[in-house]
Chain A
Amino acid sequence: MIKKRLNIRLSGLGGQGAVTAAHVLAMAANRDGKFSISNPFFGAEKRMAPAESYCRIGIERIYDRGELVFPDVIQVFHPQVITMGKSYTMPFYSGIKEGGVVIINSDQPLLSEEDVQRLKDLNVALFYIPATELAIEVAGTELSTNMAMIGAVAGITKCVSMEALDGALQERFGKKFVASGGTASLDEAIKKKFAKKEMLLAKNLATVKRGYEIASEWAEKNKVELRVGNPAVAA
Chain B
Amino acid sequence: MADIHSVIGTKNKKGQTYTDTWKMMNEAPRTPSFYTGSEVIKEAVRRASCDVMIAYPITPQSEAAALIGELFAEGYIGDYFRGESEFAVMSQCAGAAFGGARVFTTTAGPGTMRAMENFPMWSGARLPIQMIVTCRGINSPLSIQPDTLEIAYLLNTGMLVWHAETAQDFFDWILKGYMVSEEPDVHLPLALCCDGFFVTHTKDVVNLTPADMCLPPYDPYRSPVPCMDMECPPVRMMRDPFVMKSNYISYATHASWQQEVWAAVERSRKHSIHWLNGLIDTENTDADIMIVASGTAVSQGREAIRLLEDEGVRCGLVKVKTLRPWPEEEIREATKNAKHIFVPEFNVTGWLAKEIKATIPNHERVHAGPHVCGGMTMPPEIIVNEIKTTLGLKKSFVMAGRGS
Known contacts A69-B381, A178-B63, A179-B63; A38 and B296 CB within 8 A of each other: no
Chain B CB within 8 A of A26 CB: yes
B380 partner residues in chain A, CB cutoff 8 A: 64
Contact A37 B202 (CB under 8 A): yes
- B183-209 residues at the A interface, CB under 8 angstroms: 197-198, 201-205
B311 to chain A, nearest CB (A): 15
Contact A95 B402 (CB under 8 A): yes
Known contacts A44-B144, A178-B66, A179-B63; A63 and B300 CB within 8 A of each other: yes
Contact A64 B299 (CB under 8 A): yes
Inter-chain CA distance A37–B300, complex, in Å, is 14
A28 to chain B, nearest CB (A): 10
Chain A CB within 8 A of B401 CB: yes
Q: Told that A63-B299, A65-B300, A69-B379 touch, could you supply 15 new A-B pairs with CB distance under 8 A?
A: A23-B203, A35-B205, A39-B197, A40-B201, A41-B145, A41-B197, A63-B302, A64-B379, A65-B299, A66-B146, A66-B296, A69-B401, A88-B402, A94-B401, A178-B67
Quick one: closest B residue to A40, CB to CB?
A: B201
Contact B203 A66 (CB under 8 A): no
B202 partner residues in chain A, CB cutoff 8 A: 37-39, 65
Inter-chain CA distance A89–B401, complex, in Å, is 7
- What are 28 A-B residue pairs whose CB atoms fall within 8 Å in the complex? A26-B34, A26-B203, A27-B34, A37-B202, A38-B203, A39-B203, A40-B197, A43-B144, A44-B144, A63-B300, A63-B303, A64-B299, A65-B198, A66-B146, A66-B300, A66-B379, A67-B379, A67-B403, A69-B377, A70-B397, A88-B402, A89-B401, A89-B402, A90-B401, A94-B400, A94-B402, A95-B400, A180-B62
Interface magnitude class on chain B? 20 to 34
Quick one: closest B residue to A43, CB to CB?
A: B144
A37 partner residues in chain B, CB cutoff 8 A: 202-204
Known contacts A37-B204, A38-B203, A63-B300; A69 and B403 CB within 8 A of each other: yes
Known contacts A39-B198, A65-B299; A27 and B63 CB within 8 A of each other: no
Contact A67 B377 (CB under 8 A): yes
Inter-chain CA distance A74–B379, complex, in Å, is 17
Contact B378 A66 (CB under 8 A): yes
A94 partner residues in chain B, CB cutoff 8 A: 400-402
Inter-chain CA distance A70–B302, complex, in Å, is 17
A89 partner residues in chain B, CB cutoff 8 A: 401-402
Quick one: closest B residue to A171, CB to CB?
A: B34
Inter-chain CA distance A179–B60, complex, in Å, is 11
The 8 A CB mask of A82-124 against B (1 = contact, 0 = none) is 0000001110001100000000000000000000000000000
Chain A CB within 8 A of B70 CB: yes
B370 to chain A, nearest CB (A): 13
Chain B CB within 8 A of A161 CB: no
The 8 A CB mask of A13-43 against B (1 = contact, 0 = none) is 0000000000100110010000111111101
**Residues of B bordering A, CB below 8 Å:** 34, 59, 62-63, 66-67, 70, 144-146, 197-198, 201-205, 296, 299-300, 302-303, 376-381, 397, 399-403
Known contacts A39-B203, A178-B70, A180-B63; A65 and B403 CB within 8 A of each other: no
Residue of B62, B201, B205 ringed by the most chain A CB atoms within 10 A: B201
Inter-chain CA distance A147–B166, complex, in Å, is 29
A69 partner residues in chain B, CB cutoff 8 A: 377, 379, 381, 399, 401-403
Contact A65 B296 (CB under 8 A): yes
User: Could you say which of A35, A36, A38, A66 contacts B377, with CB atoms under 8 Å apart?
Assistant: A66
Contact B201 A39 (CB under 8 A): yes
B168 to chain A, nearest CB (A): 11
A185 to chain B, nearest CB (A): 13
A95 partner residues in chain B, CB cutoff 8 A: 400-403
B300 partner residues in chain A, CB cutoff 8 A: 63-66
Inter-chain CA distance A44–B145, complex, in Å, is 10
Inter-chain CA distance A26–B201, complex, in Å, is 13
A180 partner residues in chain B, CB cutoff 8 A: 62-63
Contact B198 A66 (CB under 8 A): yes
Inter-chain CA distance A43–B403, complex, in Å, is 17
B144 partner residues in chain A, CB cutoff 8 A: 43-44
Residue of B145, B202, B299, B400 ringed by the most chain A CB atoms within 10 A: B202
B299 partner residues in chain A, CB cutoff 8 A: 63-65
Inter-chain CA distance A30–B149, complex, in Å, is 33
Inter-chain CA distance A65–B303, complex, in Å, is 10
Inter-chain CA distance A11–B378, complex, in Å, is 19
B399 partner residues in chain A, CB cutoff 8 A: 69
B67 partner residues in chain A, CB cutoff 8 A: 178
Quick one: closest A residue to B200, CB to CB?
A: A39
B205 partner residues in chain A, CB cutoff 8 A: 30, 35
A4 to chain B, nearest CB (A): 10
B70 partner residues in chain A, CB cutoff 8 A: 178
Contact A27 B401 (CB under 8 A): no
Inter-chain CA distance A31–B205, complex, in Å, is 11
Inter-chain CA distance A23–B36, complex, in Å, is 9
B44 to chain A, nearest CB (A): 16
Q: Which 5 residue pairs of A and B lie closest in terms of their CB atoms, listed nearest first?
A: A94-B401, A66-B377, A67-B377, A63-B299, A39-B202
